[in-house]
Structure 1
Amino acid sequence: MIGRLRGTLLEKQPPHLLIDVQGVGYEVQAPMTTFYRLPELGADVTLHTHLAISESAHQLFAFADQRDRSLFRTLIKVNGVGPKMAIAILSGMEADDIARCVREDKVSALTKVPGVGKKTAERLVIELRDRLKGWELPREDLAGDLLPEPEASRDDHQEEAESALIALGYKPAEAARMISAAAKQDPAAGSQELIRLALRALSV
Structure 2
Amino acid sequence: MIDRLSGVVVRKYPNSVVIGIGGVGFRVEVPALSMRDLPGEGQEATVFTYLNVKEDALHLYGFAGEDERSLFSLLITVTKVGPKLALALLSNYRPAEIARALAAEDARTLSAVPGLGKKTAERLILELKDKVGDRWIGEDADSRDGASDETASSGEPDTISLARAALAELGMSAAEAEHALRNASVDDTVQTLVRRALTRRS
Pick from 135, 144, 147: which aligns with 1:139? 144
Please give the residue correspondences for 1:1-204 in structure 2 after superposition, counting only pairs within 5 Å: 1-133=1-133, 135-136=135-136, 138-140=143-145
C-alpha distance in 2, partners of 1:67/1:88? 16
Contact 2:103-2:130 within 8 A present in 1 as well: no
Instruction: Name which one, 1 or 2, has greater alpha-carbon Rg.
Output: 2
TM-score by length of 2: 0.66
C-alpha distance in 2, partners of 1:109/1:56? 35
Contact 1:8-1:42 within 8 A present in 2 as well: yes
The residue number in structure 2 matching 1:202 is none
- Structure 1 unaligned segments of length 5 or more: list them: 144-204
C-alpha distance in 2, partners of 1:41/1:101? 34
How many Å apart are 1:36 and its aligned residue?
1.4
TM-score by length of 1: 0.66
Contact 1:70-1:135 within 8 A present in 2 as well: no
- Say what the alpha-carbon RMSD is for the aligned residues: 1.7
Runs of 4+ in structure 1 deviating by more than 6 angstroms, as ranges, are none
Contact 1:14-1:30 within 8 A present in 2 as well: no
Figure out how many residues of one structure are paired with residues of the other and give that number. Answer: 143
- Structure 2 unaligned segments of length 5 or more: list them: 150-202
Question: What amino acid sits opposite 1:37 in the alignment?
Answer: D
The residue number in structure 1 matching 2:174 is none
C-alpha distance in 1, partners of 2:96/2:144? 11
Question: What amino acid sits opposite 1:31 in the alignment?
Answer: P
How many Å apart are 1:134 and its aligned residue?
6.2
